Amino acid sequence: MARCFIADMQPGNHFDDQVFMIASKDLRTTGQGSLYIHAVITDRSGQMLARIWQANESMYNALPEGGFIRLKGRVESYKGSNQFIVDAIRPVDQATVDLTEFLRRTDADVDKLWARVVEILGKIKHPHVAALVRAFLDDAELMERFKLAPAAVQLHHAYLGGLLEHTCAVLELALVTIPKYPKVSLDLVLAGMFLHDIGKTAELAYDISIRYSDPGQLLGHIVLASTWIEQKAELAATALGEPFDERIKWSLQHIVVAHHGRYEFGSPKLPATPEAIAVHHLDNLDAKLAMCLSAIDSEPDDKSSWTSYNRALETKMFMPDVLGIRPH
């Protein structure tokens, strides 16, 4: 049967043999006491909630979280969102799976994005900040992961190359906005933008699917990046031939630990420097706009003026391009 991607599925569609990746699964109990499986299925076009009614533990265990499964079922609409009602499941040999159907890549030119990131970072003038950034850029293995990694599992830039795309975008935002505020250090903001999500190169695994790695689950990208800054500062000191300025190191570590902006969003500290506030808000701007545009682009009902409800944005998005400025 020809592949039908999640983004193209409509209520009423029936499928006899579709391969999906199981992003997550949960065995739950209905109000009547019977078991059902709540899962999230994905392919490179997006994700969809899947439900298996009248389930049992053996069925639950047969769903390989982070792996592939063949499903028979139908698509229904529930509270404005599509869901896949599963009638039957069958195992799949991973060797037969075309991974390009499941791992989306950035549409941008990675080489050009990378060249632009390096060019922007070359504008950093302070020798200690520049030396620290250079210590990261000289780590060839880390930079190869940086160019390939996604920026998230589900929310924004959740595809291969997404981290590089997001980082380039926020660096560009910094170049436009920070010169308007002469008392804010452009050097610290540029370095902070480069480093704020660099820990995602290890927090996320992205071989057959995008998921959290063991160090990602145990430590997270904030702790990882802060630790790496400590290590790279020692290399920078050697290159400089003098001790690394600890206030600069602390300032960059603070940008990393505060960039989520709020405790409930995973920030160990709230932004407490002008540069940390700038990084938080510019990072949030790019992430939110990326989620907004993605919701509009992936909305299957092109006859509606509104997208389905987006949990991350806590609203539906109004879709009409009233000025005709969005490329088709």
pLDDT tens readout for residues 251-267: 999 999 999 988 888 88
Half-sphere exposure of 283 (CA within 13 A, CB side): 24
- Tell me if 189 is assigned to some domain: yes
Residues 120 and 266 in one domain: yes
The pLDDT tens digits of the residues spanning 62-117 come to 888 878 899 999 999 988 789 999 999 998 888 888 877 888 888 899 999 999 99
Structural contact between residues 14 and 22, judged by C-beta atoms closer than 8 angstroms: no
- Tell me if 194 is assigned to some domain: yes
Structural contact between residues 291 and 310, judged by C-beta atoms closer than 8 angstroms: yes
Residues 151 and 228 in one domain: yes
Residue carrying structure tokens 């999230």: 40
Residues 43 and 189 in one domain: no
**Taking the model in full, what pTM does it have?**
0.76
Residues 173 and 278 in one domain: yes
- Tell me if 68 is assigned to some domain: yes
- Select from 95, 77, 93, 96 the least CA-distant residue to 85: 77
- Tell me if 69 is assigned to some domain: yes
pLDDT level of residue 300 (50, 70, 90 thresholds): low
Residues 92 and 215 in one domain: no
pLDDT of residue 42: 86
- Tell me if 114 is assigned to some domain: yes
How far apart CA 327 and CA 142 sit, in angstroms, is 34
- Tell me if 37 is assigned to some domain: yes
- DSSP, collapsed to helix, strand or coil, labels residue 43 as strand
The pLDDT tens digits of the residues spanning 131-142 come to 999 999 999 999
Instruction: Output the average pLDDT for the chain.
Output: 91
Given its phi and psi angles, is residue 46 left (phi above 0), alpha (psi -120 to 50 degrees) or beta? Answer: left
- Select from 181, 327, 196, 184 the least CA-distant residue to 253: 196
Q: Give the end of a domain, one of 54, 74, 101.
A: 101
**Given CA atoms 292, 293, 297, 303 in this order, what sign does their dihedral have?**
positive
Residues 271 and 204 in one domain: yes
- Tell me if 79 is assigned to some domain: yes
- What's the total number of domains in the chain? 2
> Domain span at residue 163?
110-291
Residues 26 and 150 in one domain: no
Q: Give the end of a domain, one of 74, 101, 128.
A: 101
Residues 138 and 249 in one domain: yes
Please report, for residues 39, 40, 65, 263, the alpha-carbon distance to residue 94 in angstroms, rounded to integers and kept in the order given. 19, 19, 13, 40
